[in-house]
Amino acid sequence: MAERSSTPFISYYVSLPILLGLLFSSSWNLVSAHQKENQGENNSTQCPAKIGECSSLKCAFEIFDASFFNDTEMLEIVKGAKEFNIPIMRANRKLVASVNGGLQYPSVLVFNPQWDTTKHSQPNTKTFKYPSSSAVRRPSNDEDIAFMTIIELGQLIKTKQITSLELTEIFLRRLNRYNGVLEVVVSYTEELAHKQAKEADNLLAKGVYLGPLHGIPYGLKDIISVPKYKTTWGSTTFKNQVLNTEAWVYKRLKAAGAVLVAKLVSGSLASVDVWFGGRTRNPWNIEEFSTGSSAGPAASTSAGMVPFAIGSETAGSISFPAARCGITGLRPTFGTVGRTGVMSLSESLDKLGPFCRSAADCAVVLDAIRGKDPNDMSSRDVPFEDPFLVDITKLTVGYLEDAEIEVVKVLASKGVKMVPFKLNYTVDSVQGILNFTMDVDMLAHFDQWQRSGSDHSYEVQDQWPTELRRARLIPAVDYVQAQRARGKLIREVEESFRSVDAFIGNATDWERVCMGNLVGIPVIVVPTGLKPISHPPANTRRRTTITTGIFAPPQRDHIALALAMAYQSVTNHHKQRPPIDDLGPHDIVNIPKSPPPP
């Protein structure tokens, strides 16, 4: 401490309160150009116009070791910090920081001193009991095959009615055919797919059957690394990047016998649906976009271009595109699926999960990809019960005001006790806690990207670049307060859950998306119907999808899955096929497009 006052930094040290006062005061004397305009608003508590050689604002940013921003950016950051950061800091302080001593509200981010996690992990051997549908017959046309579930396709393979290679060809053809319309593929992995399909067929010929994913084609969101192919993260900056890492989730699917056919669109740096090559569309209405960021996985599964795909969610990236594209999507309990080899926004929020044609398929995929990843400190061997063995008549399920009433009725008719429900937590800064956590973590991972000005080539300038510049000014102490407030939220949600085993409600309500991700609870998004699009052209088959979310407590994914399976066992909404062949005269689409080289 003593050394500090003898360093040249002393002058900054002394000026710090003044500088911070300047940063967060309501009017600005920034660079000399602005000073002239602002002369009418002098306020004696403000900083002197110049401190030493620097303009006052530049000095302030130097204290943050962030002198790389230009004047326009600094002004924007400060405006954003005042508008967005300060209210969140104040709200969280009020929630958890009014008493000194740290006896209450510990941060949820936990330190674990364990060294070699590989030594202590027990491989998970228990698998779910899948329903067998032995009566499955191979349909006569490829389109009907393309819209079969994993469980049905698995049966076709197991009974040798189709080979994995044939199936792979069908899906590669569909990917090629519709990619020009939907813009879902970043890289085809044709060569690898042929190799893996042949291996699956050879194994089966030798009498080895690996389980329901044996020989089933699938796609991966392009934030997931696969050696020898590009892993672009959807971003212009990284569009030629090759990471020679086998992502943990890819290893798991490989071990289960699945066949990778394509790397699918991630919105740029895992946000929205805009990527370096275009913008992914919604198969149910190609005039509209898919939302993101698991844009490619959702849209291609919906359009029957893959039987399933793996996406990820930090804050809505499975829920939103699953809902928009009308497909069943599962965001599992945080920590269920290892993330080694996956681009990271936030260690305490990122989750991998499947997009499928049914909830039963989601259970099948989850079973293959769950388990402790020794190199992902947050991953755990989550002890799920078997979703296929849940007795739903023993469950009490809450429904929120915005739940789809048909789902409530169907589940009640299946013997589930349905009760009206409210999530009555008191934490009022949920969206702010999410922003702080995601933005600070993301900035830590993309520090160099921002410092070098690479963010200037980001596809949507008012999104990550703006948000991450603002994150520069979030003090570490307020990041920790956010993690303490998050802990308070978790306890309150836990309390709310006491009376129910699960609850049903709108899966895309933003506050709920933030809450669910901060707390780490699972949700399955289930299609529940279709409605007309607004201003429909004559004879259009385009529709707006309706969905609902089934939420369960952490490690109770099997409950959400079982309820979704019960609903889907007596309804057909999840079996509808989107009208991707229904191109109108005014559709500007880009067909045919030859596949990029691998």
Ligand X SMILES: *[C@@H]1O[C@H](CO)[C@@H](O)[C@H](O)[C@H]1NC(C)=O
| CB 25, min distance to ligand X, A | 4
The three-state (H, E, C) secondary structure of 144-199, written as one string: HHHCCCHHHHHHHHHCCCCCHHHHHHHHHHHHHHHHHHHCCEEEECHHHHHHHHHH
β 217-221/259-264 pair status: parallel
Could you say which of 235, 317, 358, 429 is catalytic? 317
Which of 25, 121, 161, 540 contacts ligand X by CB under 6 A?
25
Distances from the Cα of 99 to the Cαs of 79, 94, 214, 474, in angstroms?
30, 10, 57, 21
Show Cβ contacts of residue 336 under 8 Å, excluding neighbours closer than 6 positions. 351, 366, 370, 379, 380, 382, 522, 557
Give the helix/strand (H/E) hosting 97: none
Alpha helices in 352-396 (DSSP H): 359-369
Give the helix/strand (H/E) hosting 279: strand 278-279
Which of 92, 319, 506, 555 contacts ligand X by CB under 6 A?
506
Which of 109, 530, 546, 589 contacts ligand X by CB under 6 A?
546
CA–CA gap between residue 231 and residue 242 (Å, rounded): 6
Which of 45, 122, 140, 240 contacts ligand X by CB under 6 A?
45
| CB 463, min distance to ligand X, A | 7
Binding to ligand X (CB under 6 A): which residues in 437-456? 456
Which of 424, 534, 539, 572 contacts ligand X by CB under 6 A?
424
Distances from the Cα of 237 to the Cαs of 187, 225, 341, 454, in angstroms?
16, 16, 18, 7
Reduce the DSSP state of residue 282 to 3 states and report it.
strand
DSSP 341: T
Does 218 interact with ligand X (rule: CB under 6 A)? no
| CB 76, min distance to ligand X, A | 8
Which of 189, 300, 378, 435 contacts ligand X by CB under 6 A?
435
**Block residue for tokens 């600094």:** 74
Site pattern 372..411 for ligand X (x: CB under 6 A)? ------------------------------x---------
β 274-275/278-279 pair status: antiparallel
Could you say which of 293, 302, 312, 379 is catalytic? 293
| CB 216, min distance to ligand X, A | 31
Single-letter amino acid code for the residue at 219: G
Does 425 interact with ligand X (rule: CB under 6 A)? yes
| CB 319, min distance to ligand X, A | 10
| 135 and 159 Cβ atoms separated by less than 8 Å | no
Is the Cα dihedral 150, 154, 157, 162 positive or negative?
negative
Which of 142, 287, 509, 582 contacts ligand X by CB under 6 A?
509
Binding to ligand X (CB under 6 A): which residues in 233-252? none
Does 70 interact with ligand X (rule: CB under 6 A)? yes
CA–CA gap between residue 500 and residue 496 (Å, rounded): 8
Which of 332, 338, 432, 553 contacts ligand X by CB under 6 A?
432
Which of 2, 6, 42, 401 contacts ligand X by CB under 6 A?
42
Could you say which of 55, 56, 221, 429 is catalytic? 221
Which of 29, 56, 314, 508 contacts ligand X by CB under 6 A?
508
The three-state (H, E, C) secondary structure of 348-363, written as one string: CCCEEEEEECCHHHHH
**Block residue for tokens 């928009």:** 324
Does 73 interact with ligand X (rule: CB under 6 A)? yes
| CB 483, min distance to ligand X, A | 16
Does 26 interact with ligand X (rule: CB under 6 A)? yes
Return the number of the residue (246 or 402) whose C-beta is nearest ligand X. Answer: 402
Return the number of the residue (244 or 499) whose C-beta is nearest ligand X. Answer: 499
**Which residues is 527 bridged to in the sheet?**
547
Return the number of the residue (385 or 467) whose C-beta is nearest ligand X. Answer: 467
Binding to ligand X (CB under 6 A): which residues in 453-482? 456, 467
Which of 5, 7, 11, 43 contacts ligand X by CB under 6 A?
43
Show Cβ contacts of residue 423 under 8 Å, excluding neighbours closer than 6 positions. 400, 493, 496, 503, 512, 515
Binding to ligand X (CB under 6 A): which residues in 270-289? none
Does 79 interact with ligand X (rule: CB under 6 A)? no
Distances from the Cα of 50 to the Cαs of 72, 155, 330, 559, 569, in angstroms?
18, 75, 55, 62, 71
Does 499 interact with ligand X (rule: CB under 6 A)? yes
Which of 117, 492, 530, 576 contacts ligand X by CB under 6 A?
492
Whether 221 sits among the annotated catalytic residues: the reply is yes
Does 84 interact with ligand X (rule: CB under 6 A)? yes
Return the number of the residue (165 or 546) whose C-beta is nearest ligand X. Answer: 546
| CB 591, min distance to ligand X, A | 30
The residues binding ligand X (CB under 6 A) are: 25-26, 40-43, 45, 70, 72-73, 84, 88, 402, 424-425, 431-432, 435, 456, 467, 492, 495-496, 498-499, 506, 508-509, 546
Q: Which residues are designated catalytic?
A: 221, 293, 317
